[in-house]
Amino acid sequence: MQVTLIAYTPDPELVIAAAARLSASPSSTTKIMEKMSPQRVDSLLAHLLASGHLSPFEHASFTLAIDGISRATSHQLVRHRIASYTQQSQRYVPFTQFHYVTPETIASDPELLVRYQQAVAAAHQLYSQMLDAGIPAEDARFILPNAAATSLVMTMNARELMHVCAQRLCLRAQWEIVQLFEKVKIEVQKVAPRIGAELKPKCYHMGYCDEQESCGLMPTLG
């Protein structure tokens, strides 16, 4: 799996702070931005987060190239609807070379790993045979497994990114999507460290675990 930040709002934290400051200032946004020090930006973002005033965070967005995740995980990802996605198409892209994801639980069992690899290879072989027989790729793809690797571009604003990370960095989330957002966090921290610091499981914000069973980070209310 590879995650790369390919575009983002310039000075994202300054933009968020200036937008928040504008709501109670007679100055223009550009003048506010010229006068705000990094310390003031950090202080204002901390205040916004503490007060739950999160709408200014929607003014900063991040675009990430995501490669090598399974279709099982991409199907989970696109359930987060306040975002934009463009995904490699199995309808138009013929997969002459087939890449797939193997869960560690399967990889750690030698006998099952061999059977898993054989099953995936057999599915791809039939897929290729159907393409050779003139079956459209949009139909031949029906045989491809959830393990099939995919690539996509995702754009998400900072507010939604904090919300998604609160859900998907929870250690009770599926392992692959946890890994995905761990890498997203690393990329965002490079250009927006204050926002990056807020990309963490929901239990850190709540102070308890709201799942039926805790992973151990925080106790449940029950």
Catalytic residues: 168
**Helix H or strand E segment including 31:** helix 29-35
Longest CA span, the chain: 70
Helix (H) or strand (E) holding 177: helix 175-191
Tokens at residue 116, please? Answer: 């898993």
CA distance 167 to 160: 11
- Which residue carries 């925080």 as its tokens? 218
The H or E element that residue 206 is part of is helix 202-206
Alpha-helix runs per DSSP H in 36-173: 38-51, 71-77, 104-107, 110-132, 137-140, 158-168
